[in-house]
Amino acid sequence: MRILHTSDWHLGQKLLFNDREQEHQLALDWLRQVIAEQEVDVLVIAGDIFDIGNPPNYARRMYYGFLTGLLPTTCRHVVITGGNHDSPSMLEAPQQLLYALNMHVVGSAPEEKSSVLLELKNEKGKLEAVVAAVPFLRDRDLRFAVAGETGSERISRIQEGIRQYYREMGSLAEAYGKANVPVLATGHLYAKGAQVSAKQDNIYIGDKENIDASEFPAVFDYVALGHLHRPQTVGGRDTVRYSGSLIPLSFSETRDDKGVFLIDFDKKDLREITFLPAPTFRRLKTIEGDLEKVKQSLRRFSAHKERHLQPWVEVIVETEEIIPQLDVLLREFTADMDLDLVKIRLQRSRYASLDQQEATETNLYDMSALEVFRKKCDSYGSPPEEMEQLESTFLELQDWMNSRPEE
């Protein structure tokens, strides 16, 4: 049994208003080729298939085109679970149709947990594998609201709810312990000991550590995680892994490897886990230094011609003085170069000559929604002791907005 673990495609994502359609299509074409060449039996996608709950039409076409493209391959089963960016109702809309093609979709956690303990069988009806297909667990899946609870109490309830959910799934999976087939679980969360490429707000706020790797029940022979974009093992357990994203989704991820994990089982025995690196389809490059150094680096970088798509470049100019029309200057300088300047920033080492407002100016594109909310609360003078509860309410509202049915 050969299983491929991937996650965090974020189809439909924009980088500073730039569409990623070409990169994503190349990445999905590569993934389909890997599945065919490696003769994969089971594909597991651990959440965040789309970047937003109501993705653009081209992203949906890419998704369904990829799935139908698997039909001629050896891939007999596909398991798709929702992430915090996905709309459960949108993912599950074609659920019955995809099920007829041995493609299982779990957008949200159902009340009956046994319904997401999937039995994967071959064409003769023989059991081949079992997957506890756990999607991103929203607040309402984990606990009932308690009047007057503090933000820290809410976080503790969520963390215990996540642990309890996996304990219950593990108990259900125990029934297959002697079936001599691999038993897997999925998850879309922030696990203890995992590393991120850049600042990344925990989807539940509070502590980053929602569950320890040791708290996934031992009955699971492999745990396929999504949410973090860097491929890695968690907590020293080789069988608990994030696959990471298929492409760099921001300039902070350019040094991370991108790819998928290939897991080989001989019946229930785990034989090998292999990381298959994905090609870089579009280079994201950060160039920083004083203006002259930036220009020299841009010349050198543009001289490299071995690339799929035109690279996108972020420039950070370090200076102690204001440079008039820096944006115009650099765009004219790179007009004939094979690159696209998508972001230009000025980084000053001293603020003595700047007024306070200019010194603390922040680019909204560098901030998460939660950070913008915090700054807005600060501007209204919200008391610090109330911020934890305000953040909790904000994230619950954001979660509801992301998961509500399309109009």
HSE toward the beta carbon, residue 165, CA cutoff 13 A: 32
Q: Phi/psi at 35 (nearest 5 deg)? A: -60, -40
pLDDT band for 353, please (50, 70, 90 cuts).
very low
pTM exceeds 0.75 for this model = yes
- Eight-class DSSP state of 349: S
109 vs 348 pLDDT, higher one: 109
67-81, 210-224, 357-371: which has the highest mean pLDDT?
67-81
- Does the pLDDT value for residue 65 go beyond 50? yes
Kindly list the distances between the CA atom of residue 211 and the CA atoms of 28, 166, 207, 217, in Å, as whole numbers in the listed order.
31, 10, 10, 12
Kindly list the distances between the CA atom of residue 316 and the CA atoms of 54, 246, 302, 342, 358, in Å, as whole numbers in the listed order.
33, 26, 17, 11, 17
For the purposes of burial, counting CB atoms within 10 Å of the CB of 324, is it exposed (0-12), middle (13-18) or buried (19 or more)?
Answer: exposed
Distance, CA of 45 to CA of 24 (rounded, Å): 15
pLDDT digits over 242-260, tens only?
Answer: 999 999 999 999 888 999 9
pLDDT at 212: 86
Q: In the block, which residue shows the tokens 């760099």?
A: 248
Write the Ramachandran bin of 52: left for phi over 0, alpha for psi from -120 to 50, otherwise beta.
Answer: beta
Strands (E) located in 230-331:
232-234, 237-242, 259-266, 269-277, 282-289, 309-319
393 vs 34 pLDDT, higher one: 34
- Helix axis angle, 291-302 to 326-333, nearest 10°: 30
Kindly list the distances between the CA atom of residue 325 and the CA atoms of 291, 307, 345, in Å, as whole numbers in the listed order.
13, 30, 12
Q: Comparing C-alpha atoms, which of 140, 221, 141 is closest to residue 180?
A: 221
Q: H-helix or E-strand containing 225?
A: strand 222-226
Q: H-helix or E-strand containing 58?
A: helix 57-69
pLDDT at 154: 74
- Does the pLDDT value for residue 216 go beyond 60? yes
Alpha helices by DSSP H, 209-325:
291-302
336 vs 371 pLDDT, higher one: 336
Distance, CA of 342 to CA of 331 (rounded, Å): 10
Kindly list the distances between the CA atom of residue 65 and the CA atoms of 28, 32, 36, 62, 162, in Å, as whole numbers in the listed order.
10, 11, 15, 5, 34
| Cβ pair 135, 88 in contact under 8 A | yes
Mean pLDDT computed over every residue of the chain:
86
pLDDT at 407: 44
Domains of the chain: 2-277 (3.60.21.10), 284-361 (3.30.160.720)
DSSP for 357-370, written as a single string? HHHT---GGGS-HH
pLDDT at 356: 39
149 vs 28 pLDDT, higher one: 28
- Does the pLDDT value for residue 241 go beyond 60? yes
pLDDT at 357: 42
150 vs 261 pLDDT, higher one: 261
What does the chain come to in residues?
407
pLDDT band for 377, please (50, 70, 90 cuts).
confident
Distance, CA of 336 to CA of 361 (rounded, Å): 32
Look at the alpha carbons of 134, 235, 198, 367 in this order and tell me if their dihedral is positive or negative: positive
Kindly list the distances between the CA atom of residue 248 and the CA atoms of 15, 239, 251, in Å, as whole numbers in the listed order.
10, 24, 7
- Does the pLDDT value for residue 390 go beyond 90? no
Q: Comparing C-alpha atoms, which of 328, 346, 262, 341 is closest to residue 298?
A: 341
pLDDT digits over 271-298, tens only?
Answer: 999 999 999 999 999 999 999 999 999 9
pLDDT digits over 88-142, tens only?
Answer: 999 999 999 999 999 999 999 998 999 999 999 998 999 999 999 999 998 778 7
HSE toward the beta carbon, residue 150, CA cutoff 13 A: 6
Pair of tokens at residue 348: 């000053």
> How many CB atoms neighbour CB 339 within 10 A?
18
- Does the pLDDT value for residue 345 go beyond 60? yes
